[in-house]
Amino acid sequence: METCGGDFHSEAFYRMVLELRGIDLRTWRCWRTTQTVTRWTPEVIMTRADRIVQQPPRRKFLGASAALIVALPLQRAWGIDVQPTAVDNGKPKSRLILLGTAGGPTPKPNRAAPAQVIVVNGVSYVIDCGNGVARQMVLAKLKLGSIRNVFLTHHHSDHNADYGNLLLLSWETDLATRVDAYGPPPLLEMTRQFLALNDYDIRTRIADEGRPPLKGLIAAHEITAGGPVMQDDNVKVTAALVDHPPVEPAFAYRFDCPDRSIVISGDTRPSPNLVKLAQGADVLVHEVMYLPALEQLIAAETNAKTLREHLLASHTTTEQVGRIATEAGVKTLVLSHFVPGGYPFLKDEVWFDAVRPYFSGNLIVGRDLLEL
């Protein structure tokens, strides 16, 4: 891709912008030579591309049922801070924020542990609680006191390590209302033991700071099969059993919001149940593994053989995730829970190019704190 000193010139960014507008690369290059632009920033690229197709620069890309616009995921996926646009059909707008996009339990310098949050009408629904999820909520400028529901997909430590800490730290901040938590067994026992572990601190803060008892604010619910999970005025949540051996049960969740449907895969290998759950969804957030980097990832591990077997048996490759999204007929596929999520560090273009041949819809490479 041609560059002009200091210009933004990511090949994958160009391709996403042009593809979403139906512009071929040759047409763009020819047209670009006619423009007197001193610096091709991402904003300029999108604005000029819109002029070619004579469309308003903020055109919806998720269909009539969605609130997002083409510019929003593209700008945010590449680090440009913009404000979301409200829907124009009078329905509340849902916000999806990727709080952490790494895969695996080891702390990583470039990505936080797995977690995401859906916000509707100011109410936060947290899915998975990897290490540091409370801080990620704060970095996303969300009030911890807005949490009303927590959903765990399965009991691997990168997904549940801060389940209790999220509730405790929220309570110590501004949480004063009940939180319903949903997940596989032994969620009830985990909740009980966490409260026991922190009993001294909790009792001290109740007496010293006048806080309400934390135990009365947490209602844990164990789920063991797919089907309806809960419904309130903002969302309807449905679960599906997925395949993530040896962990059983493991779940994916679908959130039907007023303006769109969002599916979170959790950890899984290719799963027919997930395809069924995600049928026609507006957004599918799916875990992903890049096979060419697998050997480099596990090279330093003493248990390399066992780890390789687990990864291959329990996760979804870039090709497979593209095919799953295509089969499910989703409008937008968001890649997350990257394996590798740290070293070897892979550029966004690598992930994008590895999935694109198998999925022709809107494709977004996730990053921490990306809002969709």
DSSP string, 271-336: -HHHHHHTTT-SEEEEEEE-GGGHHHHHTT-TTHHHHHHHHHHHS-BHHHHHHHHHHHT-SEEEEE
> Which residue ranges of the chain lie beneath pLDDT 50?
1-9, 54-86, 88
What tokens were used for 132?
A: 């540091």
pLDDT on residue 51:
61
Per-residue model confidence (pLDDT) at position 340: 92
Q: What pLDDT is attached to residue 226?
A: 97
C-alpha 189/C-alpha 195 separation (Å) is: 10
Model pLDDT, residue 303: 85
Q: What's the predicted TM-score (pTM) here?
A: 0.78
pLDDT tens for 313-370 read 999 999 999 999 999 999 999 999 999 998 889 999 999 999 999 999 999 999 999 9
**Per-residue pLDDT tens for 188-236?**
999 999 999 999 999 999 999 999 999 999 999 999 999 999 999 999 9
- For 339, half-sphere exposure in the C-beta direction (CA atoms, 13 angstrom radius) is 26
Nearest to 289 by CA among 263, 265, 321: 321
- Check the CA dihedral 19-341-142-281 and report its sign: positive
Which of helix, strand or coil describes residue 211? coil
Task: Please name the residues in contact with 128: beta carbons below 8 A apart, sequence gap of 6 or more.
Answer: 114, 115, 116, 151, 152, 153, 159, 160, 264, 266
**DSSP state for residue 16 in the 8-state scheme:** H
Tokens of 165: 């800490």
